[in-house]
Amino acid sequence: GAVVSQHPSWVICKSGTSVKIECRSLDFQATTMFWYRQFPKQSLMLMATSNEGSKATYEQGVEKDKFLINHASLTLSTLTVTSAHPEDSSFYICSAREGPYSYEQYFGPGTRLTVT
Amino acid sequence: GEDVEQSLFLSVREGDSSVINCTYTDSSSTYLYWYKQEPGAGLQLLTYIFSNMDMKQDQRLTVLLNKKDKHLSLRIADTQTGDSAIYFCAEKWNRDDKIIFGKGTRLHILP
């Protein structure tokens, strides 16, 4: 099946710094990628949807200047958490969809971010 | 409502059947999904059902869909210790193509 990877799998950073998380589709081209955030024992909250070559569409309440999303190629999307604060600590999961009519999203293994 | 609802916890004896229930929000949702998440890992698609079906069986998994009540269930036959995980119900909204997740049901297997 299709594989989506994320890097790093976990990261610890100091408050005020920025951290970049990569999401790659390894064996297919992803026209659309999604970024989710998951709090402990909570559901996945969709943060934004990104289509290759265009600006990401952010969900209501998600600060686009804080969570910078770039989808520069059909196999790579990045999420940069800028000026991170402890409340940004969370599990970030990306997913990728092969085409606009595909029923399935393939999920990455997630990145655990801890801001100290 | 706007939330996909599912019970948060289910405890089942090994070898018994597990039934996880879910109520979704949009009667026009095209696809309904069950995902499995093991500790510290991402989501694995277990199975899905298209909205014009009312049942789908895949080995030990049986999905039942009641569109009238917007109710989805997942039955796992002969539950094994490896089935211990969080199971997320999700729907694909027709209006904007998003996939919306429930809070997940934590399945605990008793020996």
* pLDDT, tens digit (0-9, with 9 covering 90-100), for A39-59: 877 788 999 999 888 889 999
CB contact at 8 A, A11 and A113: yes
Identify whether A8 is preceded by a cis peptide bond (ω within 30 of 0): yes
Determine the average pLDDT of the residues in A23-28: 93
Chain B hits for A100, Cβ within 8 Å: 97
Residue with tokens 């080995």: B59
Q: Is A102 a residue whose pLDDT tops 80?
A: no
Low-confidence winner among A112-116, B95-99, B104-108 (lowest mean pLDDT): B95-99
Range ranked top by mean pLDDT from A35-39, A98-102, B40-44: A35-39
pLDDT range class, residue A1, cuts 50, 70, 90: low
Determine the average pLDDT of the residues in B91-111: 87
pLDDT range class, residue B106, cuts 50, 70, 90: very high
Using CB atoms, pick whichever of A43, A105, A110 lies closest to residue B88: A43
Chain A hits for B103, Cβ within 8 Å: 41-43
DSSP one-letter string for A72-93: EETTEEEEEE-S--GGG-EEEE
- Mean pLDDT, chain B, whole residue set: 91
Determine the residue among B7, B24, B35, B45 to mutate to test chain A binding: the one whose Cβ has the most chain A Cβ atoms within 10 Å: B45
CB contact at 8 A, A15 and A23: no
Q: Is B42 a residue whose pLDDT tops 90?
A: no
User: What angle is formed at CA A30 by the lines to CA A51 and CA A110, rounded to 5 degrees?
Assistant: 95
Chain A hits for B101, Cβ within 8 Å: 43-44
Closest chain B residue to A41, measured at CA: B103
Kind plus residue range of the DSSP H or E element containing A35: strand A32-38
pLDDT number for residue B105: 95
- Cα first-last separation, chain B: 37
- Mean pLDDT, chain A, whole residue set: 91
Read off φ and ψ for residue A6, nearest 5 degrees.
-130, 145
Low-confidence winner among A60-64, B45-49, B93-97 (lowest mean pLDDT): B93-97
CB contact at 8 A, A90 and A38: yes
Rounded Cα gap, residues B48 and B96, in angstroms:
19
Determine the average pLDDT of the residues in B13-34: 92
pLDDT number for residue B110: 93
Determine the average pLDDT of the residues in B9-34: 93
Asked if A43 and B43 come within 8 Å (Cβ–Cβ), the reply is no
pLDDT number for residue B47: 93
> What DSSP state is assigned to residue B42?
-
| Burial state string for B14-27 with b = 16 or more CB within 10 A and e = fewer than 16 | eeeebebbbbbebe
